[in-house]
Amino acid sequence: MSASDAIDRWTQSTVWYLFIPIMEKYGIKVTRQYITRLINVICKELGVTRESLRIIASPRAVMYFNGNWTSVSFDSVSALASHGTDVIFIEKLDIVEVLTDYADKYGVALVNTIGHLTEYGKDLIEASKESGAHVAILTDYDASGIKIASEVPEGIPRLGVDDEMLEYFGLSKDDKQIAVSYHPLPQEINPVRKLVEYGEDSRFNDIDIKFLEHSRVEIDAVLAAVGSERLWEYIMHKLAKLFPTRDYNRVISSSPILSGYYPKAIQNFNNYIARYVGSLVAEEQQKIESELQNVEGFIDVEDKHL
């Protein structure tokens, strides 16, 4: 199917702009956020995905694994779910960048949520868990961070920042270099108050709601106090406690390239065959490369792939 035959893709804001004339005609006054939220509600009621209707949302999450950064999108969720023995969702991008070397060493995947988790981020959590990965989340000790953590399924543990982490490092919420003044928005603190009041989610039973009403402890503050190595040490401590075993087949291949173990004579023969075949196609390959080097206008690259 050519690009001209394809159904147009829309962003969620495209729907908003297309809806403006209808709203003006009937005197409807709602916000863009209301319309974009309504898209997901309607899709759920109809039993279809937003992507099947060609309505695309920004990824707004990125995974780091084994030296590679990948945006979390509808098309990438399935592949990304196979990465890492453990997948840690982290609120702050700079914290992800600080921890990459440690994550590489132990086969752990890190996901920056870029604030509140979007639909794709939540899809990745479910897909990773279903594929056998251990999934956890790390957020600031403030109303916003608690709210972000509360938006993931109850079975996903929160690693901190919390009183347990502060106690582990010998840090105190009374230390002004650790805890800073912070005035949360009503839409942040009110849901957290309900979490604490009703006690329906055990992950938040020990939240100090009085503290969160006027202060916060960021992951960055803990990092500044203890350093990246000790912060990772605590993360590993928590993960080992929560998940004593893990499937390292997810990150270590048990099917090595065996050609490197062939007898020298076989390796030499294979190299000869490879060079011979290469010589047969070299002229045609050079011709194709020359044709593609200075193309006027555009060509359909899919037609040129082998």
Pairing of strands 108-112, 86-90: parallel
Per-residue pLDDT at 282: 85
Residues of the chain where predicted confidence (pLDDT) is lower than 50: 1-6
- Domain regions of the chain by residue span: 10-56, 62-250
Query: Could you give the CA distance from residue 49 to residue 43 in angstroms, rounded to a whole number?
Result: 6
Do residues 114 and 60 make contact, with C-beta atoms less than 8 angstroms apart?
yes
pLDDT digits (tens, 9 = 90+) for 125-160: 999 999 999 999 999 999 888 888 888 888 899 998
Pairing of strands 68-71, 62-65: antiparallel
What percentage of residues in the chain have a pLDDT greater than 70? 89
What predicted TM-score, i.e. pTM, was given to this entire model? 0.72
For tokens 């004579």, what's the residue? 265
For 295, phi then psi, to 5°, come to -85, 130
CATH code of domain 62-250: 3.40.1360.10
* CB-count burial class (<10 Å; 0-12, 13-18, 19+) for 115: middle
For tokens 């609120």, what's the residue? 91
pLDDT digits (tens, 9 = 90+) for 63-88: 999 888 988 877 788 899 999 889 99
Query: Could you give the CA distance from residue 114 to residue 159 in angstroms, rounded to a whole number?
Result: 18
Query: Could you give the CA distance from residue 10 to residue 121 in angstroms, rounded to a whole number?
Result: 20
CA atoms within 13 A on the CB side of 184: 25
DSSP string, 139-180: --BSHHHHHHHHTS-TTS-EEESSHHHHHHHT--TT-TTTSE
CA dist 292 to 106, 195, 211, 278, Å? 43, 61, 64, 20
